[in-house]
Amino acid sequence: MIKFFRRIRYQLMNENKTGKYFKYAIGEILLVVIGILIALQINNWNENRINSNKETAILANIHKEFQQNRKQLDSVVFGHRRSHTNSAKIIKLFPIKSKPKPAVLDSLGFQLFWSYGGITFNPSQTSINALASTSSFDIIKNETLRDLLISWNDLITDYQEEELRSRDYVTNQYDAYMSKHFDWNSNFKDERNNFDALQTLEFEYVVKNNYDLVNQILVSSGELQKVQETLNTIIALSKPKNN
């Protein structure tokens, strides 16, 4: 084809048909430009198709992973609420001025056992870490979803600060106090239980502090609500189109 155009060009030059030659040259240039543009368009189309397929696969992984993360968070929040509720019931008994009656002791033992918190939310980060490690966040077309995924790790770090504070308190202070005075099951059946400890200010303090730390997780800090809203939004925006 190139030889064909070249032959025509030489023929026009040999015949001194300058005007026609320039018109032909311009036309040839236009054809080359159009060919290049068409090739670029096809290449762009192929790249867009490949990226679209990649995005579909990535979104499917994100959707599945964050659904599991939401289930885990629901379970963690249930544990926090249980600790919060039982701590509040114990606080209502304050001040305890004498050894409670057997029925009250049974209830108190149950509440003490379930007042323990210290559980933490540890979501799977596989899909986000893969995007971060390959600098591939731009493949996510939805700007809102992309921004939420980019900020996810920081959001979780902020939220976990409250949980870790509560966990450390339960491990280092709450359990340390309870283990000195009460049996492991908190059922008060062992004669070595120190019922006088129930009447101390220290007992009230450790229970109230435990309550306050869990309350910060559930209500005060507002971080939990942000995590829940972000989780729900990511799940909604990453939902496969055929579902």
Percent of the chain with pLDDT over 90: 65
Instruction: Enumerate the domain spans of the chain.
Output: 64-237
pLDDT of residue 237: 97
State how far the alpha carbon of 58 is from the alpha carbons of 54, 63, 88, 243, in Å. Answer: 6, 9, 44, 16
CA dist 39 and 42 (Å) reads 5
The pLDDT tens digits for 115-130 are 999 999 999 999 999 9
Question: What pTM did the predictor assign?
Answer: 0.80
| 45-77 pLDDT, tens digit each | 656 555 567 889 999 999 999 999 999 999 999
Dihedral angle of Cα 52, 54, 57, 60, to the nearest 10 degrees: -60
Q: What is the pLDDT of residues 139-193, one digit of tens each?
A: 999 999 999 999 999 999 999 999 999 999 999 999 999 999 999 888 888 889 9
Retrieve residue 149's tokens.
């995924």
Query: How big is the CA angle at 133 (ends 131 and 136), to the nearest 5 degrees?
Result: 40
Query: Is the pLDDT assigned to residue 37 strictly greater than 50?
Result: yes
Q: Are 117 and 166 in contact (CB under 8 A)?
A: yes
Answer whether 127's CB lies under 8 Å from 65's CB.
yes
Taking the C-alpha atoms of residue 20 and residue 42, their distance in angstroms, rounded to an integer, is: 33
DSSP 8-state code for residue 173: I
